[in-house]
Structure 1
Amino acid sequence: MLTPNFELKQTDKHVILEIKAPLANVARTELVADDFNVFFSSPPYYLRLKLPGQVRESPTESGTYDVDGGIFTFRLEKVVEGQNFEDLDLIGKFLFAHKKYQARPKIEVLDDVVPSSESEDEDEEQFWIAQQTLPAESLLTTPGYGFANKVTGNGAALREEFYEIIELTDVETTPVGERKLRREREELDKFCEDHYLADFMEPSEINAIIEFKAPWEELLENKLECKLTPEETEYLKDLGNRDYLLDAQETKSALLSLADIVFAYAYNFRTFTGENTVESAWTINKLSATLSWFQTHETAAQMKVASIRRSLIYPLYRHYGLSMKVLEDTVKILKLGRRQILKCLIDVHKLFNASEPRYLLNQLYITDYCIWLQKVSDRKIESLVERLKEASVAKEDLRLDLEELERAAMMVLEEELEAVYTKLSNVSLKDDTSSELVSSSGTSDEDSSSDSDESSGSTIDSDDT
């Protein structure tokens, strides 16, 4: 059975369901609206939805079918008239969740159970302040990876498939807590001082990249709302739906890793001025500690340090000012909310699908993020933005000795400039001395000539006399 493309709209009294089914068998079409559930069947199409509010079939209206467009239109009555059904454009969250999970939770969610992690009375401050403790790992426990670290096993397959895209070679034997230490040691070995100083001393091209106006900046400046395109909505539908049951710590880590991935995307978008290239998938993969090291972040400051470090070690442009600008982009993208973040993730999903074998990163992370994000409350995204704003990061926190390198470079530059100035001064002094000598020599000759003329004249006058 095929899942048709569909669209949800609403009025005060009705929910309008439009289903695009050009190959439908109209004679065998059936629609049932029961409480929160909507079932549609018209071979070869089948659709099952779980709406955020209660609906029922209208006794006075029936569905219509546009033969030319192949579109069914159904008007379903709201049980509570005037109730607002939120996020009807995020259609993926209303699809009936599959039982087979890509990132399997420890406890599967039943059809009639709503995950408590999204309860309205959850204290966001306690959510972030709660002490982060990594799960206990023993010799009998296989370290997890993927979305919320829910995937385990398949180590042999990972070594064969991931050698090009994952820097963590021993996935099954490296505990989650040790990945950060190993990553930082390798980053120190890869850090190139000459490359960093070259971009630091000659930033003209990088300044143009920093001044580039990204679309999310224009949306915020003009106070516009981000909206998904029909193609993006359809893309979310094709990804399907799953239920996730995450505790507070897992949700926190998932949000911080989301910011880490958005940073990598924003760097690629800004440095290539909005145009993807053959290096885009590599750049996003490499800059994200989540995607390249299966990193689990504990704090917002840790996430920012990891992202900035990698942006100064691996990509083409390695400039601290550019990294801070990309960090601003990350906050702005998150501030615009789930739809802007989904736009970025859909773009990443497309890039990875076209880049072997990075499509595996979609299976481990991006697909689950696209589905999960549609269900995350706006309050959680807003709290993530606040945590990123509050977490201050300075150059010394990166532990790359950037300030010492910059001071040494400026001292060398000053010495070179002083040497050039001294050389120019010496040349100027020589020119001035030579000019004085020429001037003095010219005056003496004139005086001598004048005296000679006077003497000569006097002799002639005496003889004549």
Structure 2
Amino acid sequence: MPITPLFTLSQTSTHILLTLTLPYIRVGDAETLIEGKRLSFSCKSYLLKLNFDDELKAIYDPNVSNGTLTISIPKSVPNTNFKDLDLTTKLLQPKIPKVYRPKIEVIDSNDLSGTDSDDEVFESEVSVLDHLENIEEQERSETKYGFNLGFSNEFRKLREELREISSVDLDLVGWSEKRRIRLALEKSDFDKNRYQSDYFLNTPKFLPHNPEGPDMLFTSSMSYVPFYLDITSQLTSLKLSPTDSTTLTKIPNTPQTITSTYPLNLGLTSLLFSYMYDLRLTAGEPNVESAWNVWKLSAVMCYFESYHSERDGVRGVLEDCCRRAVCYGYCRSWELCEKVVEDLIVVVKDRRFVLKCLIEMRGIFERSETLYLMNKFYLEGYLVWVQGEEEWGEFGGEVEEVWRGLGRDFGRFRGGLGLGLREAEEEVDKSIEDVEEEDEDEDEDEDEDEDEDEDEDEDEDEDEDEDEDEDEDEEADEEDEGED
């Protein structure tokens, strides 16, 4: 099977430059074939196919280390800015026009009112068979998982590896049962005392009662400025690095039949939230715990959750994200959850922000002994799909609309997590109020005691003054008697 060579693309005002990394090749074995808009490059063990618009010419540069082949592609219209040259997987995809089948197809417009009953019976039988096939397909999809529900029977192949990252048999348990198990565990795993402790430590109004101050990791997480916020504040755009483009080139471009993008966007929301939570927690420097953090906080990866447009929505996914963050995150703070959702709104609107996050996630999982399977099940599929998706940004607008639209319903949203967060916080507030009242009572008692002490001191001073006056009078009387 031929190897796709590593390549990068750049452009000038008049040309696009394609640079191929081909170490130890014979120049004479290289062939470049132009067929209309397609460029095919082949050399022993290597094959690359790209689509461009104009005539091409190849120039070999032997001076670059390890050998590179530079192909100069003239632009049909000079000074035209070619977009997405850094999305290498997208360039490798063939240009296949999308065909949308009509939902209702007219077979014959003739009047069939005079047909015999056999045709009606046949049509009825066909509709029943179609219905049974739909039920069978739905049952089969119950045990599918991964990107675009593209995997099944993997638990039997990778039983030992998957046992460490899934507590249920993915090939036997359907999505509804997995969701029931997940929600029950999240509710039982919620540590109320831990949440209240973080709430007390990291809430500014409690600082007078917290001499140690807030958690330093929480403080740094809240103040950290991720790359996407830094770029957005500078009103610039992100360009993927050559290393990122090389990573995209290595990802298998497996064809996918995607019937609906909305479930994919919902799953992507779960992945991005968990990554951005860890990004803030580690200040952009992933550590040995990052793979576990990202995996654990995402219901999609930890429980192979599959969201569907007909029964789920953005609000439901955000509830799952926030619930898992306060159940399993290091900083179990609702304030941090809000911060991460604000990050999510920025990232999901920009294709390259999303790609950069997914590439970093892939690198994190690649270094894990067991969680590397997340790349196979989710990350690689998402990286290919995000590059090729034509319409981008609309879903990000929906995420923002849902989050901003909570407004007065925000308390109900938190209540929808089913963890009693508001009640837990109110208990802390009440206990602090009680402590403050006790302190006030003690202060009042101390003031009263001080007043009493002052009164006693004044009385003693008056008594001493009276005694001194009496003594002086007695001495004066004695002196008078002596003179007499």
Deviations 1:410-461 (A, max 9, x none): 1111112212222232233223212221221122112111122112212321
Partner of 1:89: 86
| Aligned equivalent of 2:327, options 307, 313, 318 | 313
Partner of 1:106: none
Per-residue deviation at 1:187?
0.2
Q: For residues 87 and 67 of structure 1, what CA distance do their matches in structure 2 show?
A: 28
Q: For residues 231 and 41 of structure 1, what CA distance do their matches in structure 2 show?
A: 23
Within 5 Å, which residues of 2 pair with 1:39-188?
Answer: 39-49=40-50, 51=51, 53-57=52-56, 62-69=57-64, 70-77=67-74, 85-95=82-92, 113-116=96-99, 136=135, 143-167=143-167, 169-188=168-187
- The residue matched to 2:34 in structure 1 has which SS? strand
Equivalent residue letter for 2:162: F
Deviations 1:297-338 (A, max 9, x none): 221101100000000000211000001101111111223x22
| Aligned equivalent of 1:397, options 416, 420, 426 | 416
Q: For residues 112 and 93 of structure 1, what CA distance do their matches in structure 2 show?
A: 10
Answer yes or no: is 1:409 the counterpart of 2:428: yes
* Percent identity of paired positions between Structure 1 and Structure 2: 26
Partner of 1:258: 268
Pair 274,83 (structure 1): closer, same or farther in 2 beyond 3 Å? closer
Gap regions ≥5 residues in structure 1:
97-110, 118-134
Partner of 1:129: none
Equivalent residue letter for 1:191: F
Per-residue deviation at 1:7?
2.1
- The residue matched to 1:309 in structure 2 has which SS? helix
Partner of 1:340: 353
Conservation of the 8 A alpha-carbon contact between 1:34 and 1:56:
no
Answer yes or no: is 1:324 the counterpart of 2:338: yes
Partner of 1:28: 29
Per-residue deviation at 1:355?
0.6
Conservation of the 8 A alpha-carbon contact between 1:7 and 1:18:
yes
Deviations 1:365-396 (A, max 9, x none): 1011111111012x33x111111112235322
- The residue matched to 1:242 in structure 2 has which SS? coil
Within 5 Å, which residues of 2 pair with 1:265-304?
Answer: 265-297=275-307, 298-304=312-318
Per-residue deviation at 1:257?
0.7
Pair 209,15 (structure 1): closer, same or farther in 2 beyond 3 Å? closer
Aligned residue pair count: 422
Partner of 1:359: 372
Pair 83,225 (structure 1): closer, same or farther in 2 beyond 3 Å? closer
Conservation of the 8 A alpha-carbon contact between 1:268 and 1:280:
yes
- The residue matched to 1:358 in structure 2 has which SS? coil
Per-residue deviation at 1:180?
2.6
Pair 74,209 (structure 1): closer, same or farther in 2 beyond 3 Å? closer
Conservation of the 8 A alpha-carbon contact between 1:281 and 1:351:
yes
Equivalent residue letter for 1:433: E
Q: For residues 140 and 362 of structure 2, what CA distance do their matches in structure 1 show?
A: 34
Per-residue deviation at 1:244?
2.1
Q: For residues 395 and 335 of structure 2, what CA distance do their matches in structure 1 show?
A: 23
Partner of 1:99: none
Conservation of the 8 A alpha-carbon contact between 1:396 and 1:402:
yes
Conservation of the 8 A alpha-carbon contact between 1:305 and 1:397:
yes
Per-residue deviation at 1:269?
0.5
| Aligned equivalent of 1:225, options 237, 242, 246 | 237
Per-residue deviation at 1:16?
2.9
Q: For residues 141 and 209 of structure 1, what CA distance do their matches in structure 2 show?
A: 39
Within 5 Å, which residues of 2 pair with 1:238-249?
Answer: 238-248=250-260
Per-residue deviation at 1:209?
1.9
Conservation of the 8 A alpha-carbon contact between 2:293 and 2:329:
yes
Q: Which of 205-214 and 270-279 deviates more?
A: 205-214
Partner of 2:396: 385
Per-residue deviation at 1:11?
5.4
Per-residue deviation at 1:87?
1.0
Gap regions ≥5 residues in structure 2:
101-133, 203-213
Per-residue deviation at 1:462?
3.3
